[in-house]
Amino acid sequence: MSQAKDTLLRLFALLRLIPTEPHRIATPTLLEKLRDRGFSVTLRSIQRDLSRLSIPFSLQCDDSEMPFRWSFTREAPLRLEDMDAPTALALFLSEGHLSPILPQSVLDQLGPQFRRARNYLYGLGGNGLADWARRVRSLPNGKALLPAPVGADTWAQVSAGLLERKQLLVSYHSRSKGGLKQFRLHPAGLVSRHAVSYLLASVEGYGDLRQFALHRMAEVRLLDEAAHAHESFDVDAYIASGVFSFREADGQVELIADVRPQIAALLKETPLSEQQTLSGVSLEGWHRLHAVVPLDRETLWWIFALNDNIRLHAPDVWVDEVRERIRSMHALYQNTYTTPQLQPA
């Protein structure tokens, strides 16, 4: 390698090691890191390099203590610093969570950062953070369904309509009406729930917001016309209204039930609600549970999932539904099952 090329690579590596203020790095530390990267360099040569680079690259030196410490100013015209390990780890672990909910244009811009994070962590070798990235994962509670497939063009058109506040012309597979329907939509928001992403939008000529699953969009076209502003729309308030939890009524109800010890132990660590109490054990080994919860289908599905580990006492509407579900399932499994005759495709 020529001396000029070696010097250029060394200077580039040096700049990548310097953090932005208020973080700083000492010259002996720079010397150690450059030598680890295979550069034959002295402390004196690093000091000369830093002095030459300080003005064109807006480097500043803290000479209040020895050894001197260097950093980029916040106004530096060029940021070449290398990714630090905590940032790389955060990007590595968040990539899977962000991909289903970010607009495609943003994902395209973040792609190089995700790749840098992976390359950085894989290149750390024995570093504890790199090993952590290979050992740590986030799992959903319960059975996770595979995400509904959404085409890249659909993502791009929907995200552009939402970001640019433009109308969308959508050909949509409607499950309620059947067949393919065409809508002119005014986007308001986007919500990713479990395995499905929903566009929140109003239909041309109507003011109410509806939910449109992205994977049911057969075709999407971004229009030049501006969409309704939806200025009063608040996505958090919209979610809190219970539209995604199939709420049966406004307000809260008191859930009263007996639960087995293993469920009581779980609820002590991860409560069902902010207002929850668990009493002592009965003669049969049950714990009495009181919890203030919304009257929604998600809480009822949680009750059904516990099977015979819970005995429900209130609210009455759920007790009646549990009894009806038990009768229905008993009738379903009481008779010998025969394979139904399928119609030819």
- Give the model's pLDDT for residue 106: 65
Q: Which residues of 94-118 are buried (b: 16+ CB within 10 A; e: fewer)?
A: ebeeeebebbbeebeebeeebeebe
Q: Which CATH class is domain 165-240?
A: mainly beta
- Give the model's pLDDT for residue 146: 73
Upper half-sphere CA count for residue 55 (Cβ side, 13 Å)? 3
Residue 26: strand pairing partners: 69
Six-digit token string for 151: 């085409």
- Give the model's pLDDT for residue 1: 45
Name the residue ranges covered by the structural domains of the chain: 8-72, 85-135, 165-240, 248-333
Six-digit token string for 63: 């000479």
**34-39 long-range Cβ contacts below 8 angstroms, 24+ apart:** 34/10, 37/13, 39/6, 39/9, 39/10, 39/13
Residue-wise pLDDT tens digits, 278-298: 987 777 789 999 999 988 888
pLDDT in tens, the chain (345 residues): 456 666 777 888 888 888 888 888 899 999 988 888 888 889 999 898 888 888 888 888 998 888 899 988 877 766 655 566 667 777 777 777 676 666 566 677 777 778 877 777 766 655 555 566 667 676 667 777 777 788 878 888 888 898 888 999 999 998 777 789 999 999 998 888 777 888 999 999 998 899 999 999 999 999 999 998 888 888 888 887 877 767 767 778 999 999 999 999 999 999 999 999 998 777 778 999 999 998 888 899 999 999 999 999 999 999 999 999 999 988 888 876 666 666 665
| Spatial distance between the Cα atoms of 100 and 72, rounded to a whole number of angstroms | 35
- Give the model's pLDDT for residue 259: 95
Common-topology check for domains 8-72 and 248-333: no
- Give the model's pLDDT for residue 95: 77
CB 69 within 8 A of CB 18: no
pTM: 0.59
- Give the model's pLDDT for residue 9: 78
Q: Which CATH class is domain 248-333?
A: alpha beta
Chain mean position to CA 241: 21
Q: What are phi and psi of 256, to 5 degrees?
A: -120, 130
Helix 152-164 × helix 104-122 angle, to 10° = 110
Record: fold of 8-72? Arc Repressor Mutant, subunit A (1.10.10)
Cβ-proximal residues to 60 (8 Å cutoff; 6+ apart), any chain: 21, 54, 70, 71, 72, 73
